């Protein structure tokens, strides 16, 4: 297929995954190598923009994006009181592969989604044909050989230390302004396209019956669900990046204020065979259109193998 051709998305579909319904949408032909896009905290599928997904599909990939629980049209939980943990978000991804009939897929995760993708690749190697990590940090504790990773920038730390009033989640313009302010906070040297961000945030609001539920992601624990049930004595084995066997591509912004570039270097160093590609001028964000040529040129050959 022509890499510049437009591939329109299929219809959104709600699929049952355990106790929740997940809204998913695909671009391209199901016979092509599948790519599953995993978003960051508070982000519905809309932040994987149509143009980006269309270009990947035009290059011969079956591209699936989805609303994480508590975003978009997926199942929502009480605002401010989520009854699930990070482990459930990880289980949702594996369950979504099952629901879509995919034995494995090429996982692409950004920020929180990158941490989830690392965990899935380490625990379920047979489900991951390749791994791409964007704007994220090691999800496993470091060993004695890992140098201390740099903290967030001083400017970002000062902003976090200040009271941050949330938006009026019932007001579309307030929510759009909230996401736009966040984009400015986490951006690097590439100017923020305010019209584009407003368009994506507005679409996310319009698709979300309970927009405020997305903020539940900031309240999650370290991945252990606290539902009042007795501990059955079973714990997940400690995660090690050295256990990841999937071919891994690390894409990291050179001006990420939350996870400075050394975090990407640590991922590439500790995951066997991983390759690091700098995204010049990018902050902690979804790759903006200015970088799509670079990102897609890396993703297409990296995801070329048919999933197992």
**Active-site residue list:** 111, 256, 284
SS3 228: coil
d(CA 279, CA 256): 10
Rounded-to-integer distance, Cα 121 and Cα 126, Å: 8
85 and 111 in contact (C-beta within 8 Å)? Answer: no
Rg, the chain, Cα only: 18
Nearest to 86 by CA among 107, 106, 112: 112
**Alpha-carbon distance 18 to 242, whole Å?**
30
Closest CA to 266 of 276, 256, 255: 276
Select from 127, 113, 106 the least CA-distant residue to 45: 113
Cα distance between residue 18 and residue 9, in whole Å = 25
Q: How far is C-alpha 229 from the chain's CA centre?
A: 29
Sheet holding 128-134, edge to edge: 13-17, 20-27, 62-66, 34-38, 105-110, 128-134, 248-253, 275-279
């Amino acid at each position: 297929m022509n890499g510049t051709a437009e591939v329109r998305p299929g219809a959104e579909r709600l699929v049952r995954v355990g106790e929740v319904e997940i809204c998913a949408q695909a671009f391209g032909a199901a016979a092509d190598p599948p790519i599953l896009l995993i978003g960051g905290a508070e982000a519905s599928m809309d932040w994987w923009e149509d143009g980006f997904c269309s270009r990947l599909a035009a290059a011969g990939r079956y591209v699936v994006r989805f609303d994480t629980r508590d975003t978009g049209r997926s199942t929502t939980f009480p605002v401010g009181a989520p009854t699930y943990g990070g482990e459930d978000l990880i289980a949702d991804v594996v369950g979504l592969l099952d629901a879509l009939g995919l034995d494995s897929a090429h996982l692409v995760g950004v920020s929180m989604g990158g941490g989830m993708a690392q965990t899935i690749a380490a625990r379920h190697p047979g489900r991951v044909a390749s791994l791409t990590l964007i704007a994220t940090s090691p999800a496993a504790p470091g060993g004695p050989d890992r140098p201390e990773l740099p903290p967030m920038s001083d400017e970002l730390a000062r902003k976090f230390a200040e009271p941050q009033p949330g938006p009026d989640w019932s007001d579309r313009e307030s929510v759009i302004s909230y996401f736009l302010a966040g984009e400015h906070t986490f951006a690097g040297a590439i100017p923020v396209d305010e019209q584009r961000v407003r368009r994506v945030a507005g679409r996310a609001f319009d698709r979300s019956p309970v927009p405020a539920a997305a903020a539940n992601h900031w309240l999650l624990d370290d991945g252990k669900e606290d539902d009042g049930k007795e501990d059955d004595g079973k714990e997940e084995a400690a995660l090690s990046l050295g256990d990841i066997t999937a071919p891994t591509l690390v894409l990291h912004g050179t001006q990420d204020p939350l996870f400075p570039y050394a975090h990407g270097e640590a991922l590439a160093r500790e995951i066997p065979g991983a390759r690091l590609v700098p995204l010049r001028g990018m902050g902690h964000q979804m790759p903006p259109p200015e970088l799509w040529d670079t990102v897609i040129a890396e993703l297409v050959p990296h995801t070329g193998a048919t999933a197992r």
